[in-house]
A and B are shown apart, each in its own frame.
Chain A
């Protein structure tokens, strides 16, 4: 079976090309063909040309200079110990002289605004900063084409935004051709000048973003405004079928960004009386009831809250890595049994520290931690492990010790006093439950990023935990995987498991968390049920909410906005 077939694609100079498609459709294989030095081994038929000349006619040095490549994992792309050396690395390879290197580094620092970073240790950079440094290190070689493979998958939303803005600047100000593969299309879709949608080793559609938008039928991944608008517009066009100008109109008016989405909403509701909208408070409640499960869940929680036990509690915790800066400062936190509690906040606000303190792998300066109502004095006291509390690290690699998936799962139960047949049973059951059946014999490292995460999670679930702490569980996952993870979490909470996660992922938390809070200035602030939390926030909220808040202030998910729009029509 060929990984790619029948690919014909022309890219003009200065274009911003977005390649999208479901996992395993050959996106990465396609772009790696453009970089012969790292192309996967195999048979290649056909021809790849760069500026009219076959790519095989170029020598390695020219290709290294002309084609820049940025991959997914920020930290493994760092080669040296200092930022300046990182920037110089490519030019050193080409054997440029010191004078030229200094000038180019000076220039690139000016362009990227990273003058103050130049002497920093690479080790002290955050993921977003690393990715930016790598982009700069590639750009300093002055490539004509920049190829990026899911460059923002591992970044937090703010860093991802900055990175994309920088790409846009490079494209528009320097005229560099950009080819980017991405799953998460919310921000990047509107920037592209050409979209290539792939499906099963073939190119499905090529065209400008709005054109392709009408054809794409992804359920998720597209910009929120597009999802909302499309599901409404298709209802409309289906009503007035056959009118050609109408469908053209749809194409022209489909919104791609939040701002466009807001204007689209404004157009939609232009005819609707303001007074009528004000009366809509009631109908909104109705809509959310229609939304069903999540809302009832929520009310459930409100009702039960008083009765349910607090299983995790932090009381006036203070912590700092050195005497100069407190990371946590009088931090209070209560997590009830059976809820999914999401702590959100930017980079470096101490989210991961918070989890370490709950595990007591870091010791607080003052304050108390209570788990299951019992005061925890040290890591020995903490009920970590079997039938207790478990912690899922950000990087699943930190848990993998064995050479096959099934041995990996066995390892989880290794030291426990369970009969062999029971172990076998629960492992088989787990493989089915998490959808890793059929992968037992693979090496954990050969799984996809999403499967690795799932395997690590499955390993912990075998310990039958009562509390699960999760550090950025959705990092690097595509939409389908997120959905699976989310429903898995919901199912667990139904069994009474408590989940505390720290996350950047607003959309995920808005959909699956029962309560959300922000970690700010060392404190957990505004811990509220998710709907109240996001509807109450002005900036820190979902794209759907930002698009629709003037009309439906309580709608935080695309479905809710869609339901609201349909109701109004």
Chain B
């Protein structure tokens, strides 16, 4: 798992300068969230799914599907219960109209959330802690250090929690029965971990002081440099971003659901611009094919 994550960082978006990859992902998220056009949302969902499959393989992706479907069902039913607009009435609940349009609108929102969920997941995989440290470190070195220290503490606390739990079990304190007793035991273990860690933090702060922490303005070390491929990447995404923005944000291609489903504007123009949108969303998949050491 860890090894695989490492390999992923050596391909596609992982090789792009963190800021650029970050800009790309944030824009992909914004583009997805800005429109209620089912075609565009579908394209976004398709592209993000494709990238997830590329990153993690089919088997892992299939595990997401029930959750995605759950999101869609919840928003669909939710919207049907909340919104009673729309021409096509299915049935009445307490004198409230349950309409097809409200269901469609909810389903599209569900698809949008699903796509956004996948993009966030991709972002979480691509913008690793190390990159976060760099990004924050570049304008606020202390904040970068705090992030790095936090990332150090999380696995350490988890490991210590485990050690303490085993040690307590080794004293016969493996409480399995009774909610209250279990909570008390957990509280005990948690407090051991915290006091242990705080005690060590004194050592850590001594080490930091001895290494000159706080003697002057900090700088921030970085491994990242803007490469030619980063510049090309930036040009491409900016080039694709503009038409994508037009298609999602500017009216003339608006989709409406109430009183009934319909579209405004030139459908052909919209289709052509959608191709740019699709291209934008597919950038990571294409980049992984082009950029990387072990392209398949």
Binding site for B on A (CB under 8 A): 35, 37-38, 59-61, 63-65, 67-69, 71, 73, 75-82, 84-85, 88-98, 101-102, 105, 121-123, 134, 137-138, 141, 356, 359, 361, 379-380, 384-386, 388-393, 395, 397-401, 412, 415, 445, 459-460, 463, 469
Nearest CB on B from A293, distance (A) = 31
Whether, in the assembled complex, B206 has its beta carbon less than 8 Å from a beta carbon of chain A, the answer is: yes
Instruction: Report if A384-B219 is in contact (Cβ < 8 Å); known contacts: A73-B200, A397-B199.
Output: no
Chain B residue at smallest Cβ distance from A380: B176
26 pairs of residues in contact across A and B, judged by CB atoms under 8 Å? A37-B210, A61-B212, A64-B215, A65-B212, A75-B200, A76-B207, A79-B149, A79-B207, A79-B208, A80-B148, A81-B133, A95-B218, A384-B169, A384-B170, A391-B169, A395-B163, A395-B196, A397-B192, A397-B196, A398-B164, A398-B192, A399-B168, A399-B171, A400-B195, A445-B195, A469-B170
Tell whether, in the assembled complex, residue B167 and residue A94 are in contact, meaning their CB atoms are under 8 Å apart: no
Tell whether, in the assembled complex, residue A122 and residue B192 are in contact, meaning their CB atoms are under 8 Å apart: no
Q: How many residues of B contact A (CB 8 A)?
A: 54
Chain B residue at smallest Cβ distance from A96: B219
Tell whether, in the assembled complex, residue B212 and residue A398 are in contact, meaning their CB atoms are under 8 Å apart: no
Tell whether, in the assembled complex, residue A71 and residue B203 are in contact, meaning their CB atoms are under 8 Å apart: yes
Tell whether, in the assembled complex, residue B166 and residue A356 are in contact, meaning their CB atoms are under 8 Å apart: yes
Binds A, one of B31-39, B152-160, B229-237, B280-288: B152-160
Contacts of B191 in A (CB 8 A): 401
Contacts of B214 in A (CB 8 A): 93
Whether, in the assembled complex, B217 has its beta carbon less than 8 Å from a beta carbon of chain A, the answer is: yes
Whether, in the assembled complex, B96 has its beta carbon less than 8 Å from a beta carbon of chain A, the answer is: no
Binds A, one of B41-49, B76-84, B220-228, B260-268: B220-228
Whether, in the assembled complex, B141 has its beta carbon less than 8 Å from a beta carbon of chain A, the answer is: yes
Contacts of B243 in A (CB 8 A): none
Residue among A71, A121, A361 making CB contact with B207, cutoff 8 Å? A71
Binding site for A on B (CB under 8 A): 129-130, 133, 141, 145, 148-149, 151-152, 155-156, 159-160, 163-174, 176, 188, 191-192, 195-196, 199-201, 203-204, 206-223
Tell whether, in the assembled complex, residue B172 and residue A385 are in contact, meaning their CB atoms are under 8 Å apart: yes
Contacts of B218 in A (CB 8 A): 92-93, 95
Nearest CB on A from B191, distance (A) = 7
Contacts of B219 in A (CB 8 A): 91-92, 95-98, 101
Tell whether, in the assembled complex, residue A61 and residue B215 are in contact, meaning their CB atoms are under 8 Å apart: yes
Shortest 9 CB-CB distances between A and B: which pairs? A385-B172, A391-B170, A64-B212, A88-B221, A76-B203, A76-B200, A81-B151, A398-B167, A81-B152
Tell whether, in the assembled complex, residue B220 and residue A92 are in contact, meaning their CB atoms are under 8 Å apart: yes
Contacts of A463 in B (CB 8 A): 171-172
Chain A residue at smallest Cβ distance from B185: A415
Contacts of B222 in A (CB 8 A): 98
Tell whether, in the assembled complex, residue A361 and residue B170 are in contact, meaning their CB atoms are under 8 Å apart: yes
Tell whether, in the assembled complex, residue B148 and residue A95 are in contact, meaning their CB atoms are under 8 Å apart: no
